[in-house]
Amino acid sequence: MTEQQILKKIDKWNEDDHIQAIVDFIENLPHESKTTEVLSELGRAYNNLYWLDSNKENEKYLQRAVEVFKYLEPEIGDTESWNYRIGYSYFYLNDMENAKKHLLKATSLSGTQELLDYLSIAEEKGITLLDAVAGGRGGVEYILENYKRAIAQYAPQMTDRLGAPATEQKIEALEKRLGFALSEEFKQLHRTFDGQTGAPFYSAGQRFVSLDEIEAYQDEMEQYLEAHYGKNWQKVRIPEDEFVEEGYIKNRLYSRKWVPFMVQELEGEDAPSYLCFDFDPDEQEGIFGQLIGVSPAEKIEDCELDFIYPNIFQWANVMIEGMKKGQLAYSEEKDALEFLSRGNFEPSYYSEEERESLEEYIQENIGEFDEVLHELVSPDIHCDIYIVKPTPERNYYTLVTGGMGAYAMNVPDGFNGSPYAEMCINLPPTWNLKSEDEKDYWPIRWLKILSRLPIEQDTFLAWGHTVPTGEPLEGTNFTCMLLIAADNKDGEDAVAHLAPSGKEVNFYSIVPLYEQEMLYKLENDSGALLELFSEKEIPYPPVVDVHRQNVCEGYTPTQNSNLLDEVYWAFTQEAYPGLMIFWEAVKTYNSDVENDLEDFNPFGTIFRSPKVKIMYEAWIKSRKELYDFEILANENLFDEEPDENGLYQALIVAELYSGDGAAFGALELLWLIHNTLSNKDLGDHIFFEGFDIEGYEEDGTPVIFINCGS
């Protein structure tokens, strides 16, 4: 058997969790068939045998995995995947030193940070790694301690606002008065801190509820409901077409078994909203102790019940990660923690000196202007548009943005250009710049769109990038924008060095493309397309001509469904906002594992279809973890018994759509697959191992199964 045949056989067994079969098969192979890749699969299989049945006796499999990986160290010991796998083995062998050494070399892989967090807890508390994984009392003791620690580190102004821990006597007394059992998670929350003092903790008017306040809020809720719905309010139900949490939360207006731990009181609202522990969930898919949002209202159609988190662990983890990433920060103005839409993003504006320097550069190197379209509302950047009028030498308008370059784009490591840019577009002298009709206004609109795209998508724009417009631009058949270097008056690349900062700002010119031209560019590259422009004698520098020749008319991209076969990738929980940021991550990952991508065309057409259906396996706790574009292959999945962690092994089907509405590039497909999987638990199966084409639907939509290895 060839190595490829051996690996394919192993993949099939992995899919079916026939791990022992993999071990038996590889161990009995002849020596010459035990290649590095095959032996790596053996080490992975040993790890998986332990994972399937984690007990003291099965630690022998972890020891064998370590032996295999150490044997392979001279060949692949510098790769992240090797370090993760041997680090995993050491972790569950409770070898802190070796686990930490290797996991720190695999930080970009999914699951690594979680293991490192457990390592920190174990070191701090002097406990075993497995005890750290158990989480302490209620399974949440350590995560709640980390929440308090994060408050002290990132928002120390709020530390004293957290209430003192509740005593066991107080917790027991409340449980007795309520008349039902409270979860250990709930108890541990109040052992960590019990409510709060002072103003709301969060900027949306949310404050923590103490044990002493719970029953008063419950009484207040019931009084409100009785006032608006009568004495029989308990029998009132939210209309089925308005109730979206069927199967998770019982359809009712309120229950005493919904115990609030946060309350939101806003001016103008006639009743507070609550974040509650639900100790009486729907039997179908609800989770005991799940966190739900309860918002009463005067009209039944305005009442809201929402599933928020499966447990307090998930809530605390989101808060901690938000603070670490700058998405949740203390606001002096509001004297509370505030969620920020763009992490720690702050508006970026040129200084007065920089703007003067920019304008001087435009006047001297692109053309004089006496008209500026000033932006009235500037929440992030202040982006004016300078209008350079036609001259005998340059018989066209040039519109230039002024303000985009104040923001440093998120360029990848190793990027050779500047993170600062401005946009230009050349328009014929007959263009009606005064008109607000879309057929005349779209150049201005797209200058503004592109100037903010790096902010909104946390990405970057540079030479050769293409941005689909969605629908054709009004009055044209153009469906895409290509960026090329803008020329100065001397025909050289326009680059400004602003005083006094020295900031280097590149100017890019926008060239509208037809759909076929875009597809040609994606399959070949921007240089090849520009050569066609030259061959067809398209004027340069390019000036928008809504009637210009389509240099790729009739072009149909070559579909090659094998384009991703030689690309290595590991799925992580990091979602990538932009395609080019993802491309840099893919290149870095493949370089780390010494996989040569020289022959890989990331923009080659992998499917000539605007839609692709993907199928993949993941571990989920509820339907809430699915996106709107996903469904379960087995709709009765939750009728089955979950595993010991409350997880169901699900086959998920997702519909993905290409950005241009015509075809999928190879990199685009992998990017969308990654972001779809980034919120799922893949267990140890995090490595992309290609896909199988299961068939095609009647409209030609490919249906593929994503192969994930460990």
Using one digit for the tens of pLDDT, what is the confidence trace for 309-326? Answer: 899 998 998 898 878 766
**Domain with 368 in it:** 352-536
Can you give the length of the chain in residues?
710
Identify which of 180, 210, 179 has the alpha carbon closest to the alpha carbon of residue 194: 210
User: What band does 410 get if pLDDT is binned at 50, 70 and 90?
Assistant: confident
- Collapsed DSSP state (helix, strand, coil) of residue 80: helix
Cα separation, 384 vs 381, in Å, equals 9
Q: Which of the 8 DSSP states describes residue 381?
A: B
* Amino acid, single-letter form, for residue 316: A
- 491 in the same domain as 586: no
Tokens matching residue 579:
């395609």
Tokens matching residue 60:
């022998």
The β-bridge partners of 399 are: 387, 425
Give the per-residue pLDDT at 16: 73
DSSP 274-322: EEEEESS--TTT--TTEEEEEE--SSGGG-EEEEEESSHHHHHHHHHHH
Q: Would 152 be classed as within a structural domain?
A: no
Helix (H) or strand (E) holding 9: helix 3-15
Torsion of CA 352, 357, 359, 364, to 10 degrees: 160
Task: Inform me whether the pLDDT recorded for 347 exceeds 80.
Answer: no
- Collapsed DSSP state (helix, strand, coil) of residue 606: strand
- 329 in the same domain as 197: yes
Give the per-residue pLDDT at 280: 94
Residue 409 has a CB neighbour count (10 Å cut-off) of 22
Identify which of 317, 494, 466 has the alpha carbon closest to the alpha carbon of residue 401: 494
Task: Inform me whether the pLDDT recorded for 456 exceeds 80.
Answer: no
Tokens matching residue 669:
């497909």
Burial of 186 (0-12, 13-18, 19+ CB in 10 A): buried
- 366 in the same domain as 510: yes
Side-chain-side CA neighbours of residue 25 (13 Å): 20
* Amino acid, single-letter form, for residue 222: E
Tokens matching residue 398:
């040039």
Cα separation, 318 vs 320, in Å, equals 6
User: What band does 379 get if pLDDT is binned at 50, 70 and 90?
Assistant: low
Determine the average pLDDT of the residues in 617-629: 87
How many H-runs (helices) and E-runs (strands) does the chain carry? 19, 22
User: What band does 340 get if pLDDT is binned at 50, 70 and 90?
Assistant: low
Cα separation, 349 vs 404, in Å, equals 8
Q: Would 109 be classed as within a structural domain?
A: yes
- 311 in the same domain as 274: yes
Contact of 418 with 407, CB cutoff 8 Å: no
- 397 in the same domain as 363: yes
Q: Which of the 8 DSSP states describes residue 4?
A: H
Q: Would 613 be classed as within a structural domain?
A: yes
Question: Which residue did the predictor score with more confidence, 65 or 471?
Answer: 65
- 183 in the same domain as 85: no
Question: What are the φ and ψ backbone dihedral angles of 360, each rounded to 5 degrees?
Answer: -60, -40
Give the per-residue pLDDT at 641: 86
Burial of 660 (0-12, 13-18, 19+ CB in 10 A): buried
Q: What is the CATH number of the domain that holds 82?
A: 1.25.40.10
Cα separation, 163 vs 145, in Å, equals 14
Give the per-residue pLDDT at 559: 80
Cα separation, 646 vs 668, in Å, equals 34
- 322 in the same domain as 174: yes
Contact of 586 with 504, CB cutoff 8 Å: no
Task: Inform me whether the pLDDT recorded for 148 exceeds 90.
Answer: yes
For helices 96-103 and 80-92, what crossing angle results, to 10°? 160
pLDDT per position as a tens digit, 418-453: 999 999 999 999 999 999 899 999 999 999 999 988
Residue listed under structure tokens 């267990």? 683
Tokens matching residue 199:
């103003």
Of the three residues 488, 517, 536, the one that is the final residue of a domain is 536
Give the per-residue pLDDT at 325: 67
- 311 in the same domain as 280: yes
User: What band does 281 get if pLDDT is binned at 50, 70 and 90?
Assistant: very high
Contact of 704 with 690, CB cutoff 8 Å: no
- 493 in the same domain as 365: yes
Determine the average pLDDT of the residues in 71-89: 90
Terminal Cα distance for the chain, rounded: 22
pLDDT per position as a tens digit, 551-588: 999 888 778 889 999 999 999 988 887 888 888 889 98
Residue listed under structure tokens 């796998």? 85
pLDDT per position as a tens digit, 464-497: 998 888 789 999 999 999 999 999 999 999 999 9
- Proportion of the chain above pLDDT 70, given as a percent: 97
Cα separation, 472 vs 547, in Å, equals 14
Cα separation, 148 vs 162, in Å, equals 9
Q: Would 365 be classed as within a structural domain?
A: yes
Identify which of 553, 547, 586, 552 has the alpha carbon closest to the alpha carbon of residue 674: 586
Task: Inform me whether the pLDDT recorded for 457 exceeds 80.
Answer: no
How many domains does the chain contain in total?
A: 4
Alpha helices per DSSP H over 1-77: 3-15, 19-27, 36-52, 59-76
User: What band does 296 get if pLDDT is binned at 50, 70 and 90?
Assistant: very high
Identify which of 362, 371, 479 has the alpha carbon closest to the alpha carbon of residue 433: 371
Give the per-residue pLDDT at 378: 63
pLDDT per position as a tens digit, 506-562: 999 999 999 899 888 887 888 999 999 999 999 998 999 999 999 999 888 778 889
Determine the average pLDDT of the residues in 363-389: 87
- Mark residue 213 as left, alpha or beta (left: phi above 0; alpha: psi -120 to 50; beta: remaining): alpha
Task: Inform me whether the pLDDT recorded for 226 exceeds 90.
Answer: yes
Q: Work out the widest C-alpha separation in the chain, in whole angstroms.
A: 89
Task: Inform me whether the pLDDT recorded for 63 exceeds 70.
Answer: yes
Residue listed under structure tokens 């809530």? 315
- 649 in the same domain as 500: no
Q: Would 146 be classed as within a structural domain?
A: no
Q: Would 83 be classed as within a structural domain?
A: yes
Q: Would 229 be classed as within a structural domain?
A: yes
Residue listed under structure tokens 């639900």? 278
- 189 in the same domain as 333: yes
- Edge-to-edge strand list for the sheet holding 648-657: 630-632, 648-657, 611-620, 702-709, 687-696
Contact of 513 with 505, CB cutoff 8 Å: no
Residue 119 has a CB neighbour count (10 Å cut-off) of 20
- 429 in the same domain as 367: yes
Contact of 582 with 460, CB cutoff 8 Å: no
Task: Inform me whether the pLDDT recorded for 284 exceeds 80.
Answer: yes
Q: Would 158 be classed as within a structural domain?
A: no
Contact of 704 with 42, CB cutoff 8 Å: no
Cis peptide bond prior to 156, omega within 30° of 0: no
Question: What are the φ and ψ backbone dihedral angles of 24, each rounded to 5 degrees?
Answer: -60, -40
Of the three residues 536, 558, 593, the one that is the final residue of a domain is 536
Give the per-residue pLDDT at 659: 82
- C-alpha radius of gyration, the chain, whole number: 29
Give the per-residue pLDDT at 345: 56
Give the per-residue pLDDT at 348: 82
Identify which of 507, 534, 442 has the alpha carbon closest to the alpha carbon of residue 479: 442
Task: Inform me whether the pLDDT recorded for 72 exceeds 60.
Answer: yes
- Collapsed DSSP state (helix, strand, coil) of residue 260: strand
Helix, strand and coil in the chain, % to nearest 5: 40, 20, 40
pLDDT per position as a tens digit, 644-685: 888 899 999 999 998 878 889 899 999 999 999 998 999 889
Q: What is the 3-state secondary structure (H, E, C) of 570-585?
A: ECCCCCCCCHHHHHHH
pLDDT per position as a tens digit, 18-58: 899 999 999 999 999 999 989 999 999 999 999 888 889 99
Residue 505 has a CB neighbour count (10 Å cut-off) of 23
Task: Inform me whether the pLDDT recorded for 73 exceeds 70.
Answer: yes
Q: What mean pLDDT value characterizes the chain?
A: 90
Give CA 46 to chain center in angstroms.
31
Question: Which residue did the predictor score with more confidence, 12 or 56?
Answer: 56
